[in-house]
Structure 1
């Protein structure tokens, strides 16, 4: 039963993550940041994703976001709060995401509405113990409009899973840069990770050296067998930590939800690039 729930958690992540991720990749979301005076993608990103935490400084955000270089976070926070209050940043983020969904899901409106109502029960009442970002997002009210509800539910589930993933990485003895360097030695190009997380070449090479000393990377930077096994263990722990919202679903209910979410997710994935810094796999048949 637990193995099935963990497998379901991973399958659902591949379906709800593209819905959430339009807030980072879709032009409507980027325009919303710019129009609000948040010039440069990262000001908008850090302000809007951190906004549920309140007007915090860089330290708790770097800790919660995990894989971003602290210096990169500090270039945006706390100065960004002089440009927009957290409450306004939340409005900007949601408006951009909903505008993107409205375009991407044209022709899929009935499926999107049903998907929203199917995900809301999974996202409402999440256990957020030890999950700071999920708890902060869970403190926000569910919106009334279907596309807004869809994005909010996907975001809650995404941050819930993300918090568990961070815990798994910490338990594996990896810091933010090391986690990326190990992943770059496996299946995601370094160019999709290092520059988008703000680590310097010196920091990256130090992380690679440490991983090599642990026997997780080979001298050429590719993951060793032990490194690949560690990443698999991290992903497995992440799936187990994310399984609770899906435990009550019977196999036929899982299949129904998969069928419902697949066209919606595939349409949203058109806003993403593959490979991407999130590590999201390209949907089959895209």
Structure 2
């Protein structure tokens, strides 16, 4: 019998690899060619585009894990230079082209189309309540090309999980920067050495760590005690439970087939 929880966990890893092609060199170059100033302009234009012409406060709230002021350095500047509709098209074309290049002969294999169908069925069946970024993506047209459809479905499933993860973090009183601290410690890296935190002013980072320390989630010397590890494990478990709703439409055999089909795609991606 299929272990559905293990399959969902594996699928989360696979769609992460495929979905994050959006942040690779090909899409970045495509956005630079459209007038974006740097990587982060393209990142925010492409990822926030399904939300429409939203102010930085909304993007900050939806994306959740950026420090105060980070989003405002790019939004709304990007909307003065590219429309959300154009950003969606640039992102999809560049991601599909990048994935096709990396897949090689696998791009046109019959199994890729079948995998795209299964992933799309799961993505479109997932509940959107409480998931604003996923809901915006689900409102977009599904690409006809199987390779583009694989990336689109993976992105939907990735953001569905991400929106659910943010909800779990909110329920546990863990802010975006605090989540980065816990991730750093879980990876065996001190908070000040973690790449997503190095841009913060030292006083702001220390205040974040001190708040976690006061809750017993960080040791006095900046280490990761059992309480912190337990909380992070609980958050990850509940995130997986919420993510599993996307795959309820697939039976056990189809779930296994999707894992099998996405594995070589994610490896090449």
- Please tell me the TM-score bracket, short chain as reference: over 0.9
Where structure 2 has 5 or more consecutive residues not aligned to the other structure, the ranges are none
Secondary structure of 1:144's match?
Answer: coil
Deviations 1:46-102 (A, max 9, x none): 111000111111101111111111211000011110010111111111111111101
Match of 1:17 in 2: 16
Q: Summarize the alignment of residues 42-121 of structure 1 with structure 2, pairs less than 5 Å apart.
A: 42-109=40-107, 110=109, 111-121=111-121
Tell me how large the CA RMSD over aligned residues is.
1.7
Secondary structure of 1:153's match?
Answer: helix
**TM norm structure 2:** 0.93
Q: Tell me which of 190, 194, 197 is aligned to 1:194.
A: 197
Distance 2:91 2:68 in 1: 23
Distance 2:166 2:160 in 1: 10
**Count of residue correspondences:** 264
Match of 1:230 in 2: 231
More helix by share: 2
**TM norm structure 1:** 0.88
Distance 1:252 1:79 in 2: 47
Match of 1:214 in 2: 215
Asked whether 1:185 is paired with 2:188, we answer no
Measured at CA, do residues 167 and 4 of structure 1 come closer, stay the same or move farther in structure 2, by a change above 3 Å? farther
**C-alpha displacement at 1:130, in angstroms?**
0.6
Distance 1:212 1:164 in 2: 26
Where structure 1 has 5 or more consecutive residues not aligned to the other structure, the ranges are 269-286
Deviations 1:4-38 (A, max 9, x none): 4443321111111111111102x211110111111
Q: Is the 8 A contact 1:7 1:239 kept in 2?
A: no
Secondary structure of 1:221's match?
Answer: coil
Distance 2:26 2:112 in 1: 18
Match of 1:260 in 2: 261
**C-alpha displacement at 1:260, in angstroms?**
1.3
